[in-house]
Structure 1
Amino acid sequence: MGTIQKKQGEGERSSVARSILLVALACVVFGVQQGIHDNYGIMMTGLLGPTGLSYSDISFCIGVGALIYGFAQPFMGMLAIRTSHRFVLILGTVLMATGLLLTPLCRSFVTLLLCFGIVLPLGTTGLALGILMSAITPIIGERRAAAASGLVQAAAGIGDALMSPTLESLISSFGIQPAMSVFAIPLLLFIPIAIWIGAMSRRYTKPEEVEQVKNETMTSMIKGALKDRDYRLVTMAFATCGFNMSIIESHLFSQFVSWGIPSQTASYIMTVYGIFTMIGATATGFLCTRFRTNRVLGTVYAIRVVVSVAMLLLPKTVALALVTTALLGCSGDATVPPTTSVITKRFGATRMAVLYGFATVGHQIGAFFSSYLGGVFVDLGLGYAPLWIMNMCLATFAAASSYRIGTQAK
């Protein structure tokens, strides 16, 4: 009996250690990926001179990238089911590195659209949260998945906190080409990580579950999910999230500079966003294990209403920038753990990459309009106020939708 208990204890410790390592590696991958994805706005400032393109042209490329990031996710999820998570993670790594290396060389709208608007975002799609969580959830178990999702999403804050000021300094000192090329180097480390995560995922995923899902088409999977009321509600709310996030990623840095805040100071304020992103995502991941998911999610969206009102009405100062950026961080990626929790509990880990990916389509449609309209409004001399008015209305709708999610999503 003692021997059996000892082996069980060793097995549990091994399981915990393996889960910690997997989550840590997923955090590294997602932190770098999201750090690049969230800093398109800073890259934009470096691309304006060398490309000779207008603010609205580059905003359009970022907007197309937002659509690519959304529409490609369910396809990447299905590709992971048909082939393997390892293949998709490696594909994403290669495309990201290619996009980072080629974008600074672009000298026309068409080439910039191809490299910055398609190749780079397509690469980030292969390393998206849905792909990573669907790979590691069978290994760590669904019980730990919500908290793990919060931790992985929080790693985006680490990426932002480290990469925003670093990228701005590199662009200011050396130009856009060396700056973006430097960020392609860490991606080489992702290949062995992808191979190991993929092998572990295949080992722990139940074969019968995989075979069942493989027999489904992506269309039938999504149609089945859309019959579920909670999935419809969480997807509609998540669609508004992209509009909010793209204001932060594409225009917030430029808006602070337009207030007269020095660019270096603005980059450090964006670091505050990264730090509070970690706090918000981690907090909601654990709160979802203690409270009803709908209440956690609805409250996060309600914070965005408050921020939008503040950006519209309060004096434009460094203090306002710091406080609103902190609140945007707390409420930014914090929507992801509750959203993935609802989807995983309703449909399982294997389907999560596809169904979360489909929810991300609406998210990125919102991101496209936010990215592009922001550039149009600025070029027309309207400033950023129309964006915040739209964001306030969308966040109100999202909060109301989230509170209506049923008790089965606890």
Structure 2
Amino acid sequence: MSNPSVPSPSHSVARAIPVILVAGCIIAAINFGPRATMGFFLTPMTTEYGWSREAFALAIAIQNLVWGIGQPFVGMLADRFGTARVLSIGALFYALGLALMSQTSDAGTLQLTAGVLIGLGIAGSAFLLVLAAFARLLPEHLRSIGYGFGTAAGSVGQFVFAPLGQGFIQAYGWQTALLIMAAIVLAIPVLSFFIRGKPAAVPARIGEKDQSIPEALREAFRHPSYRLLVTGFFVCGFQIAFITVHLPPYLSDIGIPALYGGYAIALIGFFNIMGSISSGVLTGRMRKRILLAGIYLARSVVIVVFLLVPPSIPSVLIFSAAMGFLWLSTVPPTQQLVVVMFGTRYVATLFGFVFFSHQVGSFFGVWLGGVLYDATGSYDIVWWLSAGLGVLAALVHLPIVERHVERPLPA
């Protein structure tokens, strides 16, 4: 565990560490921002066109699923051709999807614009690629902190874009709001220049053989701890996607003014800044599997308490703050576990498959929220399902072994 998995950065790279961190964090914030506002478009679009909530929820569910399916392949491209090129192309898809979504007038087209195009764009410009770049560009002792700041930056995007998105909708209408966010996304190709680069074709450690991508994938999926990590991350996606999309309409249903839906999403983003940074620090100081189990269990407790107390504005704000602190705090220890087990050579690819599980969970969280609401007139079933899955995820992470996989050279 004491040997670095990659060589230390050169002196010129070391001097550029602040630039790498700032550029990567801004990219993460921009990527995270518009997609965190999708719940605000549910009411105006379904009202204007007479869609059901399930129709809109299906589009966002497809977005999450396409994002998840695309993430491993995007990771492979980044590991092969470099981060900057992939981020730039992904940002173009993202901006195009947002722009075309503003012109959508039927549910079928919404599945293609808000679903497929934006899903591909988010995958191609995802903050996960930023974290993979941090894993390669930052020295080993700064990686956990870098993961924390990169993840927190996504929350900054959520915190900033939640009120901005709602403000744009109120001031200019939902179509123009989408066009404004599409223009902002186009800053990503410029910023990606500062975190450019691809992994060197060298072994993960001295005395070990190098791998191809198929060999790395076979090794990972044969590893029990990797499979447990993939399974547990499904729950993270389910919980986050359900809350992001369905919390604003849920609050309206229980009599909370719509304004507080924006406040709730923004508050989640604000407290996730502290939660992600704290998680990044703790990732370097304690067992990552224990940290992950504690996060998932705490989420379940927060959800159960929120459901049992009488609904009120203070209870909504407290729930948002508590859930925000736990929101993306799963990412730094999950990312670091991949690096600990397999090194940084194919970190974007291997974490991409972990994240695919996350997005399958996101699909079911968003879609089931819409389906069960239309069937029962309530979100209660999905809330309780989220709490139960959190307990399951806590148990799944406990058997993970935090040890590097040895790849000795043939005798």
Q: TM-score with structure 2 length normalisation?
A: 0.90
For the residue of structure 2 that corresponds to 1:254, the secondary structure is: helix
Query: Paired residue for 1:310, among 294, 297, 305?
Result: 305
Asked whether the equivalents of residues 242 and 363 of structure 1 are also in contact (C-alpha less than 8 Å), the reply is yes
Note if 1:63 corresponds to 2:57. no
Correspondence for 1:300: 295
Q: 1:209 to 1:98 in 2, by over 3 A?
A: farther
Residue by residue over 1:97-143, the C-alpha shift from the partner in whole angstroms, topping out at 9 and shown as x without a partner, is: 10111101011122111110010111010122332222232221233
Structure 2 residue matching 1:105: 3-state secondary structure:
coil
1:165/1:264 contact within 8 Å kept: no
Which of 212, 216, 229 is the matching residue for 2:212? 216
Could you tell me which residue of structure 1 aligns to residue 95 of structure 2? 97
Post-superposition offset of 1:266: 2.2
Aligned runs of 1:173-212 on 2, under 5 Å?
173-198=171-196, 201-202=197-198, 205-209=199-203
1:258 to 253, 257, 260: 253
Q: Does 1:113 align with 2:108?
A: no
One of 82, 86, 89 as aligned partner of 1:88 = 86
Alpha-carbon distance between aligned partners in 1 of 2:343 and 2:335, rounded to the nearest angstrom: 10
Following superposition of structure 1 onto structure 2, how do residues 153-164 of structure 1 map, counting pairs within 5 Å?
153-164=151-162
Aligned-partner Cα distance in 2 for 1:361–1:245: 14
Aligned to 1:135: 133
Pair 1:346–1:258, CA change in 2 (3 A)? same
Aligned twin of 2:6: none
Query: Superposition pairs for residues 271-286 of structure 1, below 5 Å?
Result: 271-286=266-281
Check the 8 A contact 1:82/1:214 in 2, yes or no.
no
SS of 2:359's equivalent in the other structure is helix
SS across alignment from 1:183: helix
2:237 corresponds, among 242, 264, 267, to 242
Q: Tell whether the 8 Å contact from 2:291 to 2:333 is kept in structure 1 after alignment.
A: yes
* Residues 27, 192 of structure 2: 8 Å contact kept: no
- Which whole-Å CA distance do the structure 1 matches of 2:275 and 2:237 have between them? 17
> What is residue 231 of structure 1 aligned with on the other side?
226
CA distance in 2, matches of 1:339, 1:253: 28
Q: Which moved more, 1:50-59 or 1:174-183?
A: 50-59
**Any conservation in 2 of the 1:31–1:158 contact (CA below 8 Å)?**
yes
CA distance in 1, matches of 2:30, 2:244: 15
C-alpha distance in structure 2 between counterparts of 1:367 and 1:119, whole Å:
17
Q: How far does residue 16 in structure 1 lie from its aligned partner after superposition?
A: 4.5
Q: CA deviation at 1:319?
A: 1.4
The answer to whether the 8 Å contact 1:51/1:106 transfers is no
Q: Please, which moves more after superposition, 372-381 or 331-340?
A: 372-381
For the Cα contact (< 8 Å) 2:201–2:210, is it kept in 1?
no
**Percentage identity across aligned positions?**
28
Cα shift at 1:15: 4.7
Instruction: Read off the aligned partner of 1:216 and give its amino acid letter.
Output: S
Corresponding position of 1:399? 394
Name the residue aligned to 2:355: 360
Which one-letter code corresponds to 1:28 in the other structure?
A: I
Residue 19 of structure 1 corresponds to 17
Q: What CA distance in whole angstroms lies between the structure 2 residues aligned with 1:195 and 1:20?
A: 14
Match of 2:381 among 363, 367, 386: 386
Deviations 1:178-235 (A, max 9, x none): 111111222232212223322xx24xx434359x9996244x4323102222212221
Verify: 1:333 aligned to 2:331, yes or no.
Answer: no
Q: In structure 2, do the counterparts of structure 1 residues 46 and 16 end up closer, same or farther at CA, with 3 Å as the change threshold?
A: farther
Which stretch of the first structure deviates more once superposed, 14-23 or 312-321? 14-23
Q: What count of residue pairs does the alignment treat as equivalent?
A: 392
The reply on whether 1:287 has 2:285 as its aligned counterpart is no
Report deviation, 1:385.
0.8
In the TM superposition, residue 50 of structure 1 has moved relative to its aligned partner by: 3.7
Looking at structure 1, the residues matched to 52 and 161 of structure 2 have their Cα atoms a distance apart, in angstroms, of 25
Contact 2:134 2:146 in 1 (8 A): no
Provide the residue aligned with 1:32 in structure 2.
30
- AA aligned opposite 2:178: M
Partner residue of 2:409? none
Counterpart residue type for residue 314 of structure 2: A
Letter in 1 for 2:65: L
CA distance in 1 between partners of 2:117 and 2:140 (Å): 33
Q: Distance in 2 between matches of 1:311 and 1:270?
A: 15
How far apart are the structure 2 equivalents of 1:58 and 1:163? 20
1:48 to 1:79, Cα distance in 2 relative to 1, 3 A? same
Q: Which residue of 1 aligns with 2:370?
A: 375
Shift of 1:324: 1.1
